[in-house]
Structure 1
Amino acid sequence: MNENMHEDEVRLSPEGLTLDQKIALVSGNGLWRTAAIEAEGVPPIVMTDGTYGVRYSIEQIDGDGGNQLEQFLAVVGQREGGSGGNEFGTSRPATCFPNGSSLGCSWDKALFRELGTVLAQECQALGVQLLLGPGINIRRTPLAGRAYEYYAEDPYLSGDLAAEVIIGLQANGVGASLKHFAANNSEVERTTMDSVIEARALREIYLKGFERAIAASNPWTVMSSYNRLNGLYAAENPWLLTDVLRGEWGYDGCVLSDWHGIKDRPASLLAGNDLDMPENELRKRTLRDAVVAGEVSEADLDLACARVLALVGKAMAGQRCGQKFSAEHHHEIARDMAAQSIVLLRNRDECLPLSPDSRARVLVLGPTATVPIIQGSGCATTRPTRVDVPLEELRAAAGEHLKFITLEGIDEGGHDAHRSKILAAASAADYVVVFVNTDVAHDGEGSDRTSLDLAEGQDELVAAVAAVNARTIVVVTAPDAVLMPWLDDVAAVLMSFYSGQGFGHAIAQLILGFQSPSGKLTSTLPVRLEDIPGWHSYPGEGGRHVYSEGIFVGYRWYDYKGIEPLFPFGHGLSYTSFEYSGLAISPDTLTDGGTMQVMFKVTNTGACFGREIAQLYAAWRGQETKRPVRELKAFAKVALGPGESATVVLTVPAADFAYWNEEANDWLLDEGVLGLEVGASSRDIRLSADCVVTPVKVYRRPIGIDSLVSQIIAYPTGRTRLASYLQEALGMEDGQAEALILGSSQSFLGIYSTLSWFVDEALIKPEELAGVIDAIAKDAAA
């Protein structure tokens, strides 16, 4: 960026620019810059990947460009090799914070705001004005290759956490790019696959997180996704980018494409995709030809140019030249984030924490104890400033007598002789800590995982060790869920996901009890692969992927189907205990435009400091509309010392309880009783209360003479108007008309056919009956 150009000198209008200058402005420059037209007051801005750390490639950003496609594919295809090294090429060091699937387990809005703040500081120091993140695609399947980047299987949690990152970034002068919009939930044929999603699921699950994040934080940019959505490429989808994003949600920022995500450049610009990244001469030429031919108006081009110029203006206003950051301080932040995100899944007989003062001998096994896997693979990969090694951190934090031992020169996945030595050592140890991981060859961008198993031989190792030592502790490093066939045989399980460069220190602090675990799962862990929602239609065929489970994604599926998960959404243990009490809701009747306030108390009833994540779920009681058993609507994290209490107040607008009605093409509240459930997880509900929902706007299915009698009398004046008609047309008494209505309401035929069956058909005139039904419908509309 031109540091000498004052922000007031930046052009904000495309007026006076030539056609070629406008085409350049909406087409990017090289891999990571926007076009510069400095003589016209348009400096370039620099952008780069970074959902959990800043990936600044010296060769790609500062070099002469070279073979851009080769460079781009090299980034996408790189695999994280452990503690850092040549796999990062010429990237500048930056802090590798916990990845999305890890940090999401903190459920901590303050931590996410802090993440945005420190990422902005590093961007400013590196000269980056736009960070391509956060990513909030729903973790629909744990097999998804980029699941490690995304926060949760729930849109409310994802959207609210993402908003905090965006606010932290943009308050410190660096733009965010909320991605990938929308429904890019698998890496299988990700640039061409058609995500086929019914309207209700699309609105309630796959768009809701974006809607919430945009409303709360107004990101400078939104990135369109590679995939097709219900037949149209997302980057060329006017319904998605214009009707919904700009029209319904009122978004006024810049939409940019994922890298080479545009197939038809004129169509993408008309759909609302302003900036085509990276630079591509063919796409620039086709856009210019379309403008010259009148297929794209210059007014449409000017609108896209104006949005790009507004982005450049914000970047210039936000730049803080010469800013530096403390790598050491950011490393401490990364450690704290990791410690608050790691999830204690099981702790039989309070095996953990290990006392630093004990005289125990602890055998440590597993490759990631000494070469930790701290992140996923692909475009988001960050070259860490340093990496904490778990074994070293355990030894450094242990007391004088507590010993962490390893088996030097032993291949843990090797032949029987080595296995015998491992088991002998495990049997002799007081405890065994086994560090396990998934296969990094399939954990990353461009490739979904092929199974939920650990890396080859590791399940067998855990099972064998647990058979000779009941106090076996397992530490799992993975992008998302794994199967745990050995679960019932081990004493404790800690799930770290990909915890960033502070993982080693964090896990040592938790194992030794210097911190109490507080992370809770943001995705359901299944018992078996076949239990995953949509497994029967994953990953699609013939270029189409039907999202067959509809709205029943994640925990919604397990609850609705009555499937017992390995561990439920929201689950996570602590070294202390918490009691919930005193639930109060206000008001007890909710209607459109209203707000529900839920208040309750959380008390630390244990012996140590701890953090609890309280979750509020909505549970509908008997409505006809098909709803999940419960849905997350709000959450709060409280920090309490022993014996301390905190009052939690959660406020939820009535709109958050609405569902998408496909026939009405609108958000509607359901009439009836709404349960408000407060829990420590989706399967651990501690408190509940009911309120009555009385919506102003009620949708009823259209009615006519082919509608069922039961459908017609469900309308407010249906029964009375129909009774009056029968009395007049057939000369019935009031009681006779009511008896006929009651009897015919059980019929599976339409009202005309049903009444004709019960009475003389000649007396039922279709046009008169149609008039009565029309009047009933008009009463309801009024």
Structure 2
Amino acid sequence: MLPADFDIDEVISQLSVSQKVKLLCGKGWWHTEPIPEVGIPSMRMSDGPNGVRGTQFFNGVPSSAFPSSTGLGSSFDVELAEEIGKALADECRAKGCHVLLGPTVNTQRSPLGGRGFESFSEDPVLNGTIAAAYINGLQSKGVSATIKHFVANDQEFERFSISSDISERALREIYLKPFQIALKKADPWAFMSSYNRVNGLHVSENKRLLDDVLRKEWGFNGLIMSDWIGVYSTTASIKAGLDLEMPGPTAMRGRAVERAMAGGKLDVSDLDFCVRNILGLLKRAYASGIPFDAPEEGLDTPEVRALLRRAAADATVLLKNDKGVLPLKKGTKSIAVIGPNARYAMTSGGGSARLLSTYAISPLEGIEEEAKKVGAEVKYHIGATSHKYLPLLDEHIKQADGEAGALIEFWNEEPAGDFISTQPDFSAGLKPCVWSTPTKSTNCFLMDGIDTSKVNYKCHIRFTTKFTPDVSGDWDFGLNLAGRGNLYLDGQLIIDLSTNPELGEAFFGLGTVDVKTTVKGLKAGQSYDLEIRINSADFQARSSPFECFGGIRLGAMPTTNQDTAIAEAVEMAKASDVALLIIGLNHDWESEGFDRQNMELPGLTNRLVSEVLQANPNTVVVNQSGTPVEMPWVDEAHTLLQAFYGGNEVGSGMADVLFGNVNPSGKLALTFPKRLEDNPSWPFFGSQGETPGHVLYNEGIYVGYRSYEKRNLAPLFPFGFGISYSSFEYSDLSLSPLSDTGDLTVSFKIKNTSNIAGREVAQVYVTDPQSSAPRPAKELKGFTKVALAPGETKTATVKLERDAFSFYDERKMSWIAEKGVFGVWVGASSADIKLKGDVELAKTFSWTGL
């Protein structure tokens, strides 16, 4: 091992060219390459951004799931973001992780973006400011942040090849800006390049973005890594300043670098530049004290649980409380909990952000726990299903020895017993498998956690478990596979995915469509043998961007007659004092790998909501989604909460708000449109571009609320909107003189005019009516969150800098703040301005850089 204070240049001088080449790519999915001959160890990375998965998708060490980024952004809470960053750092330490792959700050351009829930906001100031706090918390404990995905990675459709065609001004003011703010306020130690092209050129080989802007103009001196399998060139990516290709083994470096050097396309100095940045991050890893190649451990403490619960509540936005139904009164005797998102804990969106939670509290569990304290009876009904895939069977399965879970076995050759035939011979004994492992879940993405010294990638897999239903009657089963195989119940074939299965969206687009069937007459409490047999050869023969053994996703639930279920839920609502409707999306609808097709709530959700609203005048609607959904019943709903994905404690945090343990203080980090067509990216998003391979950012700088105000188009709920159980009064705006360099102090008073302690998010907007260039009606330039006791008044202060008064001048390729009068407005939301003032800039000035 190198000494902790090693000299980077001295180490570089000791490395051979082949060793330098080796360092330019990762070792496997989550590590950098070691050079033991020189004492260079391997650094460990982990997904993020809302948790620390560790080094395994399959059978990994459980983790704490924090609220999705849209929820954290909607808290407008810088201190909370920093606390979460510190908690993530603690979990990184427990898992021997030196580099966390987060936060994500891609701009929320459209509600349909599959990874929209991973980013904080549609507004660059809120996005970058919350990201900076997260980074500062994480890096204060020695763990590197990796801000991503640089830049304009805003859709999943053709994400590896699509060109985001953006004007220079929009690129600077909207899409690069959150990265710039985070770099200025927090200095992340690593950046991750995005998959896509920007104006025709892949970012991973875009010298102008990676070197000219990020390094030279902004002064970034850390490491730039690729997104996973996001390198498409050898010489160009290295010349552009992309230090590290991830993951390993290399696809575009290694021998290709040596060939490029032989041809004079690369020089040793090019390699040295990249190696210097890799060693610079390694030096920070040494300073952290996190061991190298450490065993992975979980972190589940009372302190972490308390933070998770507080974060879940603070990531909740109260949108309507017209009749004062909330908080729930202590005299409430009966509560009907209805809806598809009530019984299951929707902790996160899908894809690389999703992880195995240490535990999870569903909304139903959280509500039942709080209801006990006030003596209320709780009854539950699903009302209407909204699943894309049936719920997992994890709570219903046991191994043959009685332990929870299932057994997975692997063979490298066709075992005996007609392995994946639709008519297998179960009487024929299988020869011993080469390796086996238990698992707790019926969702197994077999891309890691497998003993590769014993198991080949082309293999045969058997998944066996005992399934015990908790409800008698007919059950629906749904299966999709990465591979080819069949599902058997008590030896009888019930789903056939062995004969030319159609491809679907599961497993990052590598899996089959989900095939469903109904099994009649199952008995509660009786155990049934479930078996899935898979051949991965078919999967391996297809074009896959990474090596993987295959995948299984098996779900089931009692068969539901939708009409009957809604009717029963309505009757339950009628018979209860209060009805709590928990509806929304989940990680099957919002996920990396694909975009949403529309903004609609799935299934018969809207009908369920409308009928329950008519049945009970005390109905509370809680929508849970990472990004906006259409709400055709919103005028009838007098009480409405937006909950986002709340992490481990989603149910407890939701219940805390419903029962008044926490006074809601969140405000929307996203504009909620009335309909998809109102979104400014419509119709230029996803596959709707006019030119194949290109998506035109025709809305320019008018993203989110900027566009709604430009078009004078009222949204469903405006950016920055959220109400409280308290009421607040704004007064006494005071503006310091605007300095010649653009510094301004904004002060004002906020009074809590209610008898309930609360917190108010005050937002500072700047308007530039005299600009020589078109400008939005106003733009968020600062905010503060103020805690107030009943009747208390505090003076709030927000400091603005030159960025608040500038726009990007494409002609001069610089930022410019023009002399003249600016409006400085303070609001409770973008649509609710409370105070207005003016300041004057005496002289025009311009600049480049941070």
Deviation at 1:57, TM superposition (A): 3.2
Give the superposition deviation at 1:622. Answer: 4.1
Distance (Å, rounded) in 1 between the aligned partners of 2:163 and 2:781: 30
Within the candidate set 46, 53, 56, 2:54 is matched to 56
Higher strand share: 2
CA contact (8 A) 1:10 1:42 kept: no
2:639 matched residue in structure 1: 492
Match of 1:380 in 2: 353
Aligned residues: 664
In structure 2, the CA distance between the partners of 1:141 and 1:392, relative to structure 1 (3 Å rule), is: same
Match of 2:840 among 677, 692, 695: 692
Q: CA deviation at 1:691?
A: 1.2
User: What's the counterpart of residue 649 of structure 1?
Assistant: 797
* Structure 2 match to 1:766: none
Tell me the amino acid that sits aligned with residue 490 of structure 1: A
Higher helix share: 1
**1:7 equivalenced with 2:155 (yes/no):** no
Is the aligned partner of 1:463 residue 2:432? no
Which residue identity lines up with residue 367 of structure 1 in the other structure? Answer: P
Distance 1:426 1:324 in 2: 41
Shift of 1:398: 2.2
Match 2:42 to one of 38, 41, 44: 44
Distance 1:531 1:362, change over 3 A: same
Q: Which residue of 429, 432, 444 corresponds with 2:579?
A: 432
Match for residue 224 of structure 1? 193
Residue number among 273, 279, 282 corresponding to 1:309 in the alignment: 279
Asked whether the equivalents of residues 10 and 41 of structure 1 are also in contact (C-alpha less than 8 Å), the reply is no
Deviations 1:281-322 (A, max 9, x none): 442221221122210111111111111011111111112459
Q: Structure 2: how far apart are the matches of 1:566 and 1:410?
A: 25
How many angstroms does 1:392 deviate by?
2.1
* Partners of 1:108 and 1:379 in 2: CA distance: 25
Aligned equivalent of 1:351, options 308, 325, 349 = 325
* 3-state DSSP of counterpart to 1:675: strand
Q: CA shift at 1:697, angstroms?
A: 3.2
Letter in 2 for 1:342: T
- Residues 20-419 of structure 1 correspond to what in structure 2 (within 5 A)? 20-58=18-56, 89-283=58-252, 284-321=254-291, 325-355=299-329, 357-398=330-371, 402-407=375-380, 414-419=561-566
Instruction: Note the alpha carbon deviations across 1:25-71, whole angstroms, 9 max, x for none.
Output: 1111111111101221211100011101001134xxxxxxxxxxxxx
- Higher alpha-carbon Rg: 1
1:408–1:178 distance in 2 versus 1, CA, 3 Å: closer
- Does residue 473 of the first structure (1) align with residue 442 of the second (2)? no
| Alpha-carbon distance between aligned partners in 2 of 1:155 and 1:410, rounded to the nearest angstrom | 39
Distance 1:347 1:295, change over 3 A: same
2:748 is matched with which residue? 600
Instruction: Find the residue that maps to 1:376 and give its secondary structure.
Output: coil
The separation in 2 between residues aligned to 1:142 and 1:348, in whole angstroms, is: 27
Q: Which runs of 5+ in 2 are unaligned?
A: 386-559
Amino acid at match of 1:545: V
Q: CA deviation at 1:682?
A: 0.2
Q: CA shift at 1:9, angstroms?
A: 4.8
Report the alpha carbon displacement of residue 216 of structure 1 after superposing the two structures with TM: 1.4
Supply the AA of the counterpart residue of 1:430: D
Secondary structure of the corresponding residue to residue 759 of structure 2: strand
Secondary structure of the 2:699 match is coil
Q: Aligned pair in 2 of structure 1 residues 419, 215: CA closer, same or farther (>3 Å)?
A: closer
Amino acid in the other structure paired with 1:449: R
User: Which segment is superposed worse, 458-467 or 666-675?
Assistant: 666-675
Amino acid at match of 1:327: T
Alignment partner of 1:441: what SS? coil
Change (3 A) 1:623 1:10: closer
1:623 maps to which residue? 771
For residues 241-264 of structure 1, give each alpha carbon's deviation from its aligned partner in whole angstroms, at most 9, with x where no partner exists: 000001110000010000110100
SS in 1 for 2:734: strand
Equivalents in 2 of 1:555, 1:484: separation in Å?
19
Q: Residue 571 and residue 404 in structure 1: after superposition, are their counterparts in 2 closer, same or farther (change >3 A)?
A: farther
* 1:582-731 correspondence runs (5 A): 582-587=732-737, 589-591=738-740, 593-697=741-845
How far did residue 390 of structure 1 move?
A: 1.7
Shift of 1:693: 2.2
**Is contact 2:47–2:53 with CA below 8 Å preserved after alignment?**
yes
Deviation at 1:404, TM superposition (A): 4.1
Distance in 1, matches of 2:272 and 2:567, equals 72
Asked if the contact 1:590/1:691 (under 8 Å) is kept, the reply is no
The CA distance in 2 between the partners of 1:178 and 1:390, in whole Å, is 32
Query: CA shift at 1:169, angstroms?
Result: 1.2
Residue 409 (structure 1) shift: 8.5
Aligned counterparts of 1:32 and 1:139: Cα–Cα separation in 2: 28
Matched AA of 2:275 = C
Cα 1:216–1:379 shift into 2, 3 Å: same
Q: Cα–Cα, structure 1 residues 431 and 127, in superposed 2: closer, same or farther, change >3 Å?
A: same
For structure 1, the residue ranges without an aligned partner over 5 or more in a row are 59-74, 76-88, 700-782
The whole-number CA distance in structure 1 between the counterparts of 2:384 and 2:193 is 46
After superposition, the Cα gap between the structure-2 partners of 1:139 and 1:282, relative to the gap in structure 1 and judged at 3 Å, is: closer
Which residue of 1 is the match for residue 523 of structure 2?
A: none
- CA 1:100 to 1:265, structure 2 compared with 1: closer, same or farther past 3 Å? same
Of residues 648-657 and 155-164 in structure 1, the stretch that sits farther from structure 2 once superposed is 648-657
CA drift of 1:240 comes to 0.1
Aligned to 1:178, what secondary structure does the other structure show? Answer: strand
Please, which of 569, 576, 581 is the counterpart of residue 719 of structure 2? 569
Residue 439 of structure 1: how far off its partner (Å)? 5.6
Secondary structure of 2:106's counterpart equals coil
